[in-house]
Structure 1
Amino acid sequence: MTARADAYTALITGASSGLGAEFARQLAEEGHHLVLVARDAGRLSAAAARLERDYGVTVEVLPADLTDDAGVAAVVARLQDASRPVDVLVNNAGIGLPRPFEQNPVEDELRHLRLHVQTTLELCHAALPGMLARGAGRIINVASVAAFATRGTYGAAKAWELSFSRWANVNYGPSGVKVTALCPGFTHTEFHQRMGIDKGAMPRWMWLDARRVVRVGLADNVRGKAVSIPSLRYKVLVAGTRFLPARFTRGPARKPLDQP
């Protein structure tokens, strides 16, 4: 497949693995050009080569640490480059913290907050003026069903992304810019392993396929939906959180940090 005549450019953060890599693959499969952002330059370059070979699209690599001011500034500059407009922004980069809040170094908590909230805000703020001037644009903020539950600072950060996306979609939708909070449940990626979550403690039916999560998220964004929950089972669970005591929505068990 080659790039479409009406191809647009999408910038994806956290694009070297997990949902970010799947966003890149599906958008390239549709014939669109990409800007891939992540910390690991080697993985990004390898991914770019595969996507260009398999789909005939142009893939730009932008290594950046989005918990670092200089890294964020580099991505902001790319989003503000009017000579190379970005039509779709996917704020997917994310991290989790393996310990309870009171056990985490405050520096780790601040880094976590910086990535999920401040960086998302800065990148949206950089992308919106160009999108509004062109009268078209799309933003997907990858949140989580944790935004609807009691999940410590992770859930709190995702709740901010959810609230912001809802507001932005109402505010900017009439001007042609669609903003969606994608809120998946447990999804088969590297993310939960890095967090030390015991995947075996969760029922198999709760795990989602990354391909479906991304496919539904992209489709809901095109439709202009402010919130995308890519599974009927999780839509039901989210509805139920309104009535459950907070202790039932605290999240899954985690393995001790000295276990594999």
Structure 2
Amino acid sequence: MKKKTVLLTGASEGIGLELAKIFAANGDRLILIARNHMKLNEVFRNLNQLTEVIIIEKDLSKIGAAKEIYDEIKSKGEQIDILVNNAGMGLQGYFHQMSEQEQLRMIQLNIMTLTELTHLCIQDMLNSGYGRVMNIASISSFVATPSMAVYGATKAYVLSFSEALNIELQNKGDFSVTAICPGPTKTNFSKKNNMNNLDKIANIIGTRSDKVAKIAYKTLIKKKIVNIPGKRYKAAILGTKLLPRYMVQFFIGKLMLNK
């Protein structure tokens, strides 16, 4: 694959960091977005030895953040070839008991910012005739998730949006849109979002973030539309298709809510 310029959000840890390492090892130029100043600078020091790296510190859960990033990138004369929408947040608990503002902030990050940044970058991709978009979704994209009702709904949007956009861009040039749908992964994602039950599950059966990143990168290169990293998670999602939706949601609720 020819060396490209990659815009990657949520690049300071977890799957995003591991993807940044893979792109850097391939020699692709990186524009990395995260809100943690110290971690972002550490990533810069480590990866700048391998390839050209630009870092932008930004809280993507803020309204208007996507346009601010895009404007800054354009002011530097950059052209995005590959967009990786990895940044996201989650919340676990009963919908009625959790903060309304925090849940709206999650929708802003997981849906609104992802959509706006994709729309902005695709305009330039269409002009150049080349583009790749990778959106990090979840196995929650496939099933309603009691205790993570809003999170699951945002990831269902990401999957549906990605699949539809991939079809729309056919015959427009060399394009693909990929949705990666990981199951519980051994990262700080569930811990920092106080998703205690999910954190326990991830620690027991979770996939390593570097493994997820490798699968995601190969999926992008092959221009596959959807991939669920890990055979156990593929089997689990296949199993849900054989059962009534209510039964699936009931069992997930028992697992996630410790009923």
The TM-score, its normalising length taken from structure 1, stands at 0.88
1:73: Cα distance to partner? 2.2
What CA deviation, in whole Å up to 9, does each residue of 1:170-201 have, x standing for no partner?
11133222101100111110011123324675
For residue 30 of structure 1, the aligned residue among 23, 26, 30 is: 26
- Aligned residue number for residue 157 of structure 2: 160
- Aligned residue number for residue 8 of structure 1: 4
- Aligned residue number for residue 16 of structure 2: 20
Structure number with the bigger relative contact order (C-alpha 8 A, sep ≥ 6) is 2
Report the Cα distance in structure 2 between the residues aligned to 1:79 and 1:164, rounded to whole angstroms.
24
Report the Cα distance in structure 2 between the residues aligned to 1:252 and 1:18, rounded to whole angstroms.
24
Report the Cα distance in structure 2 between the residues aligned to 1:35 and 1:47, rounded to whole angstroms.
11
1:82: Cα distance to partner? 8.8
State the percentage of identical aligned residues: 32
How many residue pairs get aligned? The number is: 249
Gaps of 5+ in 1: 256-260
The TM-score, its normalising length taken from structure 2, stands at 0.89
Q: Which amino acid aligns with 2:182?
A: P
Gaps of 5+ in 2: none
Report the Cα distance in structure 2 between the residues aligned to 1:60 and 1:25, rounded to whole angstroms.
14
Check the 8 A contact 2:131/2:176 in 1, yes or no. Answer: yes
Report the Cα distance in structure 1 between the residues aligned to 2:83 and 2:45, rounded to whole angstroms.
21
- The 1:113–1:199 alpha-carbon spacing in structure 2 relative to 1, beyond 3 Å, is closer
- Aligned residue number for residue 249 of structure 1: 252
Report the Cα distance in structure 1 between the residues aligned to 2:107 and 2:252, rounded to whole angstroms.
21
Q: Secondary structure at the match of 1:7?
A: coil
1:206: Cα distance to partner? 3.0
- Aligned residue number for residue 84 of structure 1: 78
The alignment's C-alpha RMSD in Å is: 2.2
- Aligned residue number for residue 69 of structure 2: 75
- Aligned residue number for residue 190 of structure 1: 188
Q: Which amino acid aligns with 1:169?
A: N
Q: 4+ residue runs of structure 1 moved beyond 4 angstroms?
A: 78-82
1:158: Cα distance to partner? 0.1
- The 1:77–1:251 alpha-carbon spacing in structure 2 relative to 1, beyond 3 Å, is farther
1:148: Cα distance to partner? 0.9
- The 1:136–1:25 alpha-carbon spacing in structure 2 relative to 1, beyond 3 Å, is same
Check the 8 A contact 2:186/2:202 in 1, yes or no. Answer: no
Q: Secondary structure at the match of 2:135?
A: strand
- Aligned residue number for residue 219 of structure 1: 218
- The 1:202–1:41 alpha-carbon spacing in structure 2 relative to 1, beyond 3 Å, is closer
Report the Cα distance in structure 2 between the residues aligned to 1:137 and 1:37, rounded to whole angstroms.
19
- Aligned residue number for residue 258 of structure 1: none
Check the 8 A contact 2:139/2:183 in 1, yes or no. Answer: yes
